[in-house]
Amino acid sequence: MGPRFLILRFSAIGDCVMALPVASRIRRSVPGAVIDWVVDRRCADVIDTERLVNGLETFDSREEKRLRWTPAGIARQMRFYLRLRERGYDYGIDLQGHSKTALCLRIARPARRVAARATDGLARALNPVRPDPHRAEHMVEQNLETLGYLGFASGDPTPMLPDLTAERETLKAQLPDRPLVTITVGAGHPNKVVPLDRWRTVGELLMKEGLAVGYLGGPGDPSPELPGSIDWVGRLPLRQTMAALALSALHLSGDTGTAHIASALGVPTVTVFGHMPQEKFRPYWGRGKVLSLGGNAALVPQSAIFAAAQQMWRELRA
């Protein structure tokens, strides 16, 4: 058995996707490596448990937050972290850098540990933070640089994703015989949200181009209710959402997790950014266009979104 690795990236979905290259490089370049990952249950399905990681430790962040400073919550958290310590990790890497992940890494006590970043004073105090400034701008490359600090700077980091064959076949049977464009209507921050009427109009215009349009979103997101489109908003769990993205010829969204999943699957993307720096958080893989104006996704006009999608589709057909 090879060295044991502990990876901490609790959330969010897109950030977990951008952390996949770290585990993927370890898996391909370190013979016999044992890789465990601690993650929020809502994000767990983006991590492959058949080829990529040996163990996936999940928790409910909403429940943990509710109980965080109660005696029962603290005791449960400590039992979990001490159970990780018993596994005797050789290496530990915190790719989030919050106090909650820093505490987990410190108590798990791998022989060597490092954090990619520290977002608060407690995180800075608990673990070594990669000492040199990151040379790279993008989060994917920063994560890989941090792995390099532990001595693993080479190897193929192409993200290893779960096998979605069964989910793809189920969804494919529901699709019309036309290329599919998926559009995610929601986002996790108000400045990342594209107004719903714009996604509705863009979808309508794309359907006139002869494309099938499927709308994606979480349980709390509104549906555009566009006649002739496929309404998956709030209806697909994460694995099925990933399968819908894998079946797409093109994916449109705000700065949210589906953009990173689509990119990792090799699906071209058009992503509308808000306040986050696109140089650091844009979809990393494959072909993509990023639209940004004034730090709020709502400022990007519908005409610009459709024009980018139309141009991308025509380039793909050429």
Confidence of residue 74 (pLDDT cuts 50, 70, 90): confident
Q: Which of 70-84, 87-101, 139-153, 222-236 has the lowest mean pLDDT?
A: 70-84
Residue 64, pLDDT above cutoff 80: no
The pLDDT of residue 131: 79
The pLDDT of residue 139: 97
The pLDDT of residue 62: 75
The pLDDT of residue 132: 73
Supply the pTM of this predicted model. 0.96
In this structure, the chain runs to a length of 318
The pLDDT of residue 172: 96
Measured CA to CA, the distance from residue 11 to residue 38 in angstroms comes to 10
More confident residue, 62 or 1: 1
Token pair in block for residue 265: 């699957």
Q: Which domains, and CATH codes, for the chain?
A: 4-149 (3.40.50.2000), 165-317 (3.40.50.2000)
Mean pLDDT over 59-71 rounds to: 76
Mean pLDDT over 91-111 rounds to: 97
The pLDDT of residue 76: 85
The pLDDT of residue 135: 80
Question: What is the rounded average pLDDT for all residues in the chain?
Answer: 95
Confidence of residue 75 (pLDDT cuts 50, 70, 90): confident
Confidence of residue 10 (pLDDT cuts 50, 70, 90): very high
Kindly provide the residue ranges of all beta strands, DSSP E only, lying in the chain, ordered along the sequence: 4-8, 34-40, 55-59, 91-94, 112-115, 180-184, 212-216, 230-231, 250-254, 269-273, 288-292
Contacts of 75 (CB under 8 A, 6+ apart): none
Residue 200, pLDDT above cutoff 80: yes
Mean pLDDT over 268-292 rounds to: 97
Confidence of residue 80 (pLDDT cuts 50, 70, 90): very high
Measured CA to CA, the distance from residue 258 to residue 12 in angstroms comes to 11
Residue 179, pLDDT above cutoff 80: yes
Mean pLDDT over 249-258 rounds to: 98
Measured CA to CA, the distance from residue 182 to residue 258 in angstroms comes to 10
Measured CA to CA, the distance from residue 313 to residue 291 in angstroms comes to 16
The pLDDT of residue 280: 96
Which residue type sits at 255? D
Render pLDDT for 113-157 as a digit per residue (tens, 0 to 9): 999 999 999 999 999 998 776 788 999 999 999 999 999 999 999
Cis before residue 12, ω within 30 degrees of 0? yes
Render pLDDT for 12-51 as a digit per residue (tens, 0 to 9): 999 999 999 999 999 999 999 999 999 999 999 999 999 9
Confidence of residue 71 (pLDDT cuts 50, 70, 90): confident
| Nearest CA-CA partner of 112 in 144, 80, 150 | 150
Residue 178, pLDDT above cutoff 80: yes
Render pLDDT for 300-312 as a digit per residue (tens, 0 to 9): 999 999 999 999 9
Residue 65, pLDDT above cutoff 80: no
Measured CA to CA, the distance from residue 182 to residue 313 in angstroms comes to 13
Mean pLDDT over 213-237 rounds to: 97
